[in-house]
Amino acid sequence: MKRYWPLLVIVAILAAVIGVSQYAESTKQRCEEAARQTKAATVAKGDDGKASNNTENPCKPPAWARYFTWPEGVGAWAVILTLFVIAWQSIETAKAAKATEKSVVLAAEAAAQSLKEMQLEQRAWVGVTAASLVEFAPNKLVTANLTIKNMGKTFAVNATLFQRILSVMGRQPLTQFPETSEGEPGITLLPGAEFIAQVMGTKPLLSVEQFNAIQAGNAFIYMYGTIRYKDVMGYSHRTQFSFVYSPIVRSFQAYQGHNDAD
């Protein structure tokens, strides 16, 4: 209702102009008729039988009446109302254009958000689902198996594993993970597919003292790394993982750091 208030104003003004115009026009006609009658009477009673034309109009319309008489007064009001309507329509058109532009922007944002959600729902998600210890003994290379799986709904392309086994002496947990440089050859993982990668420690081999320290909880051995891959839409992703050897269960367990994915 508020949107159409100018139209209501126009209708009210138009009704007022018509009503006042009718009143002004009828007043003008009455005054003209009265003037004619007065003039006729004056001519009939003129001195020496001569008519007098100097009689003043005994009935004058109000000063404002000329602004509402036909055609000058009403025509001027028609022009004013027309200009008002044009201005109002221009404002409404500008508002509609702005609203349309805003709707287009919102629709584009909604479409982009829907596409993003669809990509997140359908993309590949590659991660480590299991880590098992294969070889852990003094004077031997530490060896473990990593189970890597595509848990997403589409292909994972060129999935490459960068990994490392690192032994750290002392009871202070590892907070900074050195970069890994060697990577397994990139492979393509179907949705739900998995493969087992063997990870081997590097020399020097564990000494008896280091082995005993790890078993006693006075040293740690970590296995960590990064999986890099692309989804079918060409976007690159990364999964970081880390495990620490637990002497209680005599196997690797998930570690608190270096675990995230994008």
| Domains (range + CATH), the chain | 2-119 (no CATH), 126-261 (2.60.40)
Length of the chain: 262
- CA distances from residue 112 to 100, 105, 106, 231 in whole angstroms, order as listed: 18, 11, 10, 18
Q: What span, in angstroms and rounded, lies between the C-alpha atoms of 40 and 46?
A: 10
pLDDT in tens, 44-73: 555 555 544 444 555 665 666 666 666 666
Cβ-based neighbour number of residue 28 at 10 Å: 18
Q: Do the beta carbons of residue 225 and residue 198 sit within 8 Å?
A: no
| Of 10 and 237, more confident | 237
Confidence of residue 242 (pLDDT cuts 50, 70, 90): very high
Run of H or E including 166: strand 156-169
Res 6 pLDDT > 70: no
Residue whose pair of structure tokens reads 């003008």 in the numeric block: 28
Show the tokens assigned to 207: 């000494």
Chain-centroid distance of CA 247 in Å reads 51
How crowded is residue 75: how many other Cβ atoms within 10 Å of its Cβ?
Answer: 11
Tell me how crowded residue 172 is: count the other CB atoms within 10 A of its CB. Answer: 8
Higher pLDDT, 37 or 130: 130
Which run of H or E residues covers position 127? Answer: strand 126-135
By the 8 A CB rule, do 231 and 148 touch?
no
Write down the H helix ranges in the chain. Answer: 5-44, 72-122, 208-215
Q: What is the mean pLDDT of residues 188-195?
A: 92
Give me the pLDDT at residue 75, please: 72
Three-state DSSP state, 195: strand
Residue 145's pLDDT band (cuts 50, 70, 90): very high
